[in-house]
């Protein structure tokens, strides 16, 4: 590692760690400030605050949420460059989703909106800095390390932990699982043609409108290669009367790209991924638990040191279950 890259890495780590401290202070003072709101202490004495029952499970989930910025203060200093990038992107997107979800489900509290706006700006900056962080790419033709597998496993464990704690504390939350297929227009790096795409997803509705999900999508072309992406998505559903519900989606995660070289040589590299999509759910059945989901999305990834964007159109079937 050359001296300039090392200095740049140290400076980026310091910025990210400082931003997480800034976020953490805002989270803490936002909660402390709420103690002085008229009627808050009386409401807390009943054991229910903001419509949420203050059970041990709820407090455990709250501890899990606040532990994210606490942990990132340290992890931003000690993780290697590659690990730092995806950890900050994943933690930033997840904390941003929690912040927006908490604000959206609360009342018209001006001080909450004030603190949430500052937190949102800081978290967006963390994601942006992490995404733009210059990475040292493996030489073309070299096999990547197991970073993608570690990333996927870590994101999966984090989501499973969140989902395991949530059912006991939520009165409205629902799980959703789904699978689908479609066509993906691949970037020139993967041949510039279209290929078949498959995806699996599992999500949890924090409210009727706001969902967090983890998605695994794979697409391949006939001649050039394929990619496999794992992203953590925040989904906002424009819930309304009727069976059709439009939504928007934003996510971040990791991707592995494989390229076919001649003669019979296959090379691969892993990178970061950002996903954005718009779509709609068509509810099915009398209870409207199942749905058909049609989605137009774009995945931007930076494998092999080259930014590429792959556009996809997918159709999937989903099943929603849990407490209504």
Residue 137 lies in a domain: no
User: 100 vs 152, which has greater pLDDT?
Assistant: 100
What's the rounded Cα separation, in Å, for the pair 302 and 187? 12
* Per-residue confidence band for 35, with pLDDT thresholds at 50, 70 and 90: low
Quick one: 168 and 316 in the same domain? yes
Residue 166 has pLDDT above 50, yes or no: no
Structural domain contains residue 141: no
**Residue 241, CA atoms < 13 Å, CB-side half-sphere:** 0
Same domain, 153 and 247: yes
Instruction: Tell me the three state secondary structure of residue 173.
Output: coil
Q: How many domains does the chain have?
A: 2
Same structural domain, 289 and 216: yes
This prediction has a pTM of 0.56
Q: How far apart are CA 56 and CA 171, in angstroms?
A: 15
| Residues 105 and 20 placed together within one structural domain of the fold | yes
> In this structure, are 128 and 163 located in the same domain?
no
Strands 265-284 and 244-261: antiparallel
225, 270: one domain? yes
Asked if residue 140 is part of any domain, the answer here is: no
Within this chain, do residues 158 and 127 fall inside the same structural domain, yes or no? no
Max Cα-Cα span within the chain: 74
Domain, as residue range, for 53: 3-132
In this prediction, residue 84 carries a pLDDT of: 84
Q: What percent of the chain has pLDDT over 90?
A: 12
**How many whole angstroms separate alpha carbon 167 and alpha carbon 219?**
33
> Are 184 and 315 members of one domain?
yes
Give the bridge partners for 321, in sequence order: 175
CATH of the domain at 188: 2.40.160.20
Nearest CA to 251 out of 199, 296, 217, 215 is that of 215
The strand pairing partners of 215, in sequence order, are 201, 231
pLDDT tier, 249 (very low <50, low <70, confident <90, very high otherwise): very high
120 and 154 in a single domain? The answer is: no
Answer whether residue 139 is part of any domain.
Answer: no
Single out the residue in 74, 97, 132 at which a domain terminates: 132
Question: Which sign, positive or negative, has the C-alpha torsion 99, 76, 154, 132?
Answer: positive
Residue 142 lies in a domain: no
Please report, for residues 12, 63, 126, the alpha-carbon distance to residue 120 in angstroms, rounded to integers and kept in the order given.
20, 20, 10
Give CB contacts under 8 A, 24+ apart, made by 149-158.
150/83, 151/86, 151/90, 151/230, 151/253, 151/254, 152/216, 152/230, 152/254, 154/87, 154/90, 155/90, 155/214, 155/230, 155/232, 155/253, 156/214, 158/90, 158/94
pLDDT tier, 137 (very low <50, low <70, confident <90, very high otherwise)? very low
Query: For residue 304, is it within any domain?
Result: yes
80 and 188 in a single domain? The answer is no
Which of 78, 98, 132 terminates a domain? The answer is 132
Is 256 contained in some domain?
A: yes
User: 192-218, pLDDT tens digit by residue?
Assistant: 677 788 899 998 887 778 888 999 998
């Amino acid at each position: 590692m050359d001296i300039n890259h090392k200095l740049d890495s140290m400076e980026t780590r310091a910025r990210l760690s400082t931003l997480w401290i800034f976020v953490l202070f805002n989270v803490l003072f936002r909660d402390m400030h709420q103690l002085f709101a008229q009627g808050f202490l009386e409401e807390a004495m009943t054991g229910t605050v903001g419509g949420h029952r203050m059970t041990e499970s709820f407090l455990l989930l709250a501890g899990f949420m606040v532990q994210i910025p606490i942990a990132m203060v340290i992890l931003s200093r000690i993780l290697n460059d590659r690990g730092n990038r995806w950890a900050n992107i994943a933690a930033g997107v997840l904390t941003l989703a929690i912040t927006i979800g908490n604000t959206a489900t609360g009342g018209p509290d001006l001080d909450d909106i004030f603190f949430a706006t500052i937190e949102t700006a800081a978290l967006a900056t963390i994601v942006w800095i992490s995404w733009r962080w210059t990475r040292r790419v493996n030489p073309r033709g070299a096999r990547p390390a197991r970073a993608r597998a570690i990333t996927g496993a870590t994101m999966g464990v984090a989501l499973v932990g969140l989902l395991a704690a949530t059912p006991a504390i939520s009165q409205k939350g629902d799980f959703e699982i789904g699978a689908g297929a479609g066509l993906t227009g691949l970037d020139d790096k993967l041949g510039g043609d279209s290929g078949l795409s498959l995806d699996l997803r599992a999500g949890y509705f924090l409210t009727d409108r706001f969902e967090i999900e983890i998605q695994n999508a794979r697409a391949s072309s006939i001649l050039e290669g394929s990619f496999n992406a794992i992203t953590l998505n925040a989904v906002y559903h424009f819930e309304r009367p009727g069976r059709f519900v439009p939504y928007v989606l934003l996510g971040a995660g990791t991707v592995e790209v494989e390229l076919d070289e001649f003669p019979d040589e296959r090379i691969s590299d892993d990178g970061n991924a950002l996903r954005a999509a718009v779509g709609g759910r068509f509810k099915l059945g009398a209870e409207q638990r199942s749905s058909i989901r049609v989605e137009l999305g774009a995945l931007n990834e930076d494998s092999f040191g080259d930014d590429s964007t792959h556009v996809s159109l997918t159709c999937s079937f989903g099943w929603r279950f849990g407490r209504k």
